[in-house]
Amino acid sequence: FPSHDTPPNPNDSYYANSSLQNALKVIYALAARKNSVTPDAGSFQDDFLKTALDSSSAGFIVMDHERQIIYNNQSAPLETNTEGKPMIKLIFPETDSINTWLDHCEVASVHEEKIWTRIPTDVPGDECKYYDVIASYNKGSKQEVIITCIDRTSIYKTNEDAFDFISFAAHELRGPITVIRGYLDVFEQELGATLDKDHLELLQRLKVSASRLSGYINNILNTAKPYRDWETDR
């Protein structure tokens, strides 16, 4: 159908920094061949497009109205289920999964798009990969759902390793700080009556500082807890 919308520029920084740049160039190249169609052009274009998409590091998945995968390129994160059929190997949050979104689309939308970030293929580990996922829904189309998976493992894995170190360090510090606070409480109970005013004030300052440091550590661990719970629930 004719459109007055300006097509995306593959040289824009958003596309140039992702695997979508090559896909856009392939689509535009195929469109440029439209006026020189020959009897074998359809087969040539299909092979050309398949080769181009398979060379992309971005994963492309196409699903029909029954949510069956009817096409995927080689980079698509897939696995085989017990029935021998391909299925998406991505672990979405339980309350915000792609199936939950598609349930909503089937009831309330004709065309809709959604983006998920930092979606893992597995529990955290050396084999786990992380993707940003873009899904497009077009009601009634033969290719009703098109999913683009952009591999961001190199970015998110680095962040996760740094996060693990901070969380580990905070956890290791909490034990000694708890012990220090305990000794300060015992010291105050056993010797508080024998201390002069200056010593009592110094003891109170030590207790306040220990409590403040303990609070900082607990804040770090509490911040980590929702993330860790999400990973564990997977």
DSSP codes joined into one string, 66-123: T--EEEE-TTS-EEE-TTS-EEE-----GGG-HHHHHHHHHHH-SEEEEEEEEEESSS
- Measured in whole angstroms, the distance separating CA 135 from the mean position of its chain's CA atoms is 14
Which band of pLDDT confidence, cut at 50, 70 and 90, is reported for residue 5?
low
Contact 134, 113 (CB under 8 A): yes
**Tens digit of each residue's pLDDT (9 = 90 or more) over 155-195:** 887 766 666 667 777 778 888 888 888 888 888 888 878 88
pLDDT of residue 78: 96
Buried/exposed code over 73-111 (b: 16+ C-beta within 10 A; e: otherwise):
bebbbbeeeeeeeeebbbbbeeeeebeebbeebeeeeee
Contact 138, 144 (CB under 8 A): yes
Name beta bridge partners: 140: none
The lowest-confidence range among 1-10, 78-87, 179-188 is: 1-10
Q: What contacts 182, CB < 8 A, 6 or more positions away?
A: none
List, edge to edge, every strand of the sheet that includes 59-63. Answer: 69-72, 59-63, 145-151, 130-138, 111-120
Q: What is the pTM of this model?
A: 0.56
- What's the distance, Cα to Cα, between the start and end of the chain in Å? 43
In this predicted structure, the answer to whether residue 151 has a pLDDT above a threshold of 90 is yes
Q: Which candidate, 117, 114, 106, places its Cα nearest to that of 140?
A: 106
In this predicted structure, the answer to whether residue 225 has a pLDDT above a threshold of 70 is no
In three-state secondary structure terms, 19 is coil
